[in-house]
């Protein structure tokens, strides 16, 4: 037991259930066991967190920058260091830096930045989320139209091959991209997410049938649910397995709309922050306004952290605390096929854990 230590908190949420009077024993970065506190070896080191919750660390699959260093403007390792620090402050030990529609050179530089960050031993970054430029200009949101286009397979191959091992998610509009493009991206082990799309219900369902498993920020920048035109939102609701991210900041989506979506989608709905940072450089001029960011008067990003998202889900969306924690940990892990190592407190899983106080403020992160 010399290399082991135990974490003790008032309540433990394993990802499946709530436990009391238990300790989590960790050895070499892995969860070794969950045992009654009274059964702990007397010689083992103990880390006590009274009046706290121990839960799986959060995973944010869409975030653009932090501390005035937007990755697309500063495609360098230091921007990812700052991003990692921001994510950790909100309880996210793992995250997916995101670059929105931009020039090809910016995408390539962001790929290089991730590789450089990893080569320096940087932690937390799971890979790169490429959002656009193969989206529908009708639903561009804050994305600049001059860089949006319908791709040929060769365009896609050039970016994907350069980003091999780095690009892990691509958001695209299914009605803009041919079936062979979607199949090619999926075959490279990259998650395809439907977003910034004006797809009809039928077009969206065809995209899902072609293998698209996920959608990007439900409701935002997508064809809405209407009674004679169910759109992408309706297709997501109606599908049995497609997941979607959502931004629970109260600005991107009304809390009532989140409650409705949760009732329909249940475990298929997961959280992203979609957080940006103040910047005057580059093509995205994000400015902080009333607890959110705008670019040229258009809502362009949130100021969320993952623990704030948990609070909002519990307080405003009638989501049970354990389910709110799953939406920020286990479900994102499932999207990335990491659910056998992250998102649960279970023997053999990574000891990637967050300690929260009773108000869901972050006290510590492993």
pLDDT confidence bin for 1, thresholds 50/70/90? very low
Q: What is the pLDDT of residue 30?
A: 97
Return the ∠ at Cα 149 (arms to 147 and 152), rounded to 5°.
130
Which residue out of 60, 178, 202, 274 is catalytically annotated? 274
Catalytic residue status for 60: no
Q: What is the pLDDT of residue 283?
A: 85
Is 9 or 298 the better-scoring residue by pLDDT? 9
Q: What is the pLDDT of residue 21?
A: 96
What is the mean pLDDT of the segment spanning 99-105? 97
pLDDT at 29 over 90: yes
What is the mean pLDDT of the segment spanning 90-110? 98
Query: Tokens 């605390």 appear where?
Result: 321
Q: How many beta carbons lie within 10 A of that of residue 187, not counting itself?
A: 10
| Predicted TM-score (pTM) of this structure | 0.97
Q: What is the pLDDT of residue 2?
A: 57
Interval 61-70: pLDDT, tens? 999 999 999 9
Cα(224)–Cα(232) distance, rounded to whole angstroms? 6
pLDDT confidence bin for 280, thresholds 50/70/90? confident
- Contact by Cβ (8 Å): 210, 217: no
Q: What is the pLDDT of residue 296?
A: 84
Cα(195)–Cα(215) distance, rounded to whole angstroms? 6
What is the mean pLDDT of the segment spanning 229-246? 98
pLDDT confidence bin for 249, thresholds 50/70/90? very high
DSSP string, 116-154: HHHHTT--SB--EEEE-SSS-GGG-TTS-GGG--PPPHH
Is 129 or 296 the better-scoring residue by pLDDT? 129
The answer to whether the Cα torsion of 270, 340, 174, 101 is positive or negative is positive
Interval 322-331: pLDDT, tens? 999 999 999 9
Q: How many beta carbons lie within 10 A of that of residue 228, not counting itself?
A: 4
Is 270 or 3 the better-scoring residue by pLDDT? 270
Cα(181)–Cα(246) distance, rounded to whole angstroms? 25
pLDDT confidence bin for 320, thresholds 50/70/90? very high
- Contact by Cβ (8 Å): 80, 117: yes
The domains found in the chain, sorted by start residue, are 4-56+344-365 (2.30.40.10), 58-335 (3.20.20.140)
pLDDT at 227 over 90: yes
């Amino acid at each position: 037991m010399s290399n082991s230590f135990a974490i003790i908190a008032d309540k433990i949420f394993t990802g499946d259930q709530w436990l009391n009077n238990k300790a989590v024993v960790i050895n070499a970065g892995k969860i070794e066991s969950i045992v009654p506190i009274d059964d702990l070896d007397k010689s083992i080191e103990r880390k006590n967190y009274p009046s706290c919750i121990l839960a799986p660390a959060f995973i944010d699959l869409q975030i653009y920058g932090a501390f005035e260093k937007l990755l697309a403007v500063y495609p360098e390792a230091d921007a990812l260091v700052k991003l990692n620090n921001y994510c950790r402050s909100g309880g996210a030990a793992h995250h997916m830096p995101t670059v929105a529609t931009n020039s090809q050179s910016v995408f390539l530089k962001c790929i290089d930045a991730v590789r450089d960050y990893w080569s320096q031993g940087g932690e937390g970054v799971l890979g790169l989320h490429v959002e656009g430029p193969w989206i529908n200009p009708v639903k561009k949101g804050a994305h600049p139209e001059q860089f949006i286009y319908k791709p040929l397979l060769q365009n896609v191959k050039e970016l994907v091959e350069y980003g091999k091992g780095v690009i892990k998610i691509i958001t695209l509009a299914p009605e803009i991209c041919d079936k062979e493009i979607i199949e090619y991206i999926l075959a490279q082990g990259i998650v395809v997410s439907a977003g910034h799309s004006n797809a009809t219900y039928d077009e969206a369902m065809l995209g899902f049938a072609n293998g698209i498993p996920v959608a990007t920020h439900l409701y935002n920048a997508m064809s809405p649910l209407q009674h004679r035109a169910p759109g992408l939102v309706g297709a997501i609701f109606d599908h049995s397995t497609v997941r979607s991210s959502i931004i629970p900041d109260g600005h991107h989506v009304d809390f009532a709309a989140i409650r409705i979506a949760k009732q329909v989608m249940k475990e298929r709905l997961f959280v992203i922050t979609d957080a940006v940072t103040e910047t005057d450089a580059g093509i995205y001029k994000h400015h902080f306004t009333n607890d959110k960011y705008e670019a040229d008067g258009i809502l362009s990003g949130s100021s969320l952290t993952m623990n704030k998202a948990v609070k909002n889900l519990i307080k405003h969306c009638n989501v049970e605390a354990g389910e709110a924690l799953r939406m920020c940990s286990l479900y994102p892990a499932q999207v990335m096929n990491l659910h056998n190592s992250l998102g649960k407190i279970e023997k053999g899983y990574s000891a990637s854990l967050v300690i929260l106080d009773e108000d869901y403020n972050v006290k510590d992160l492993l």
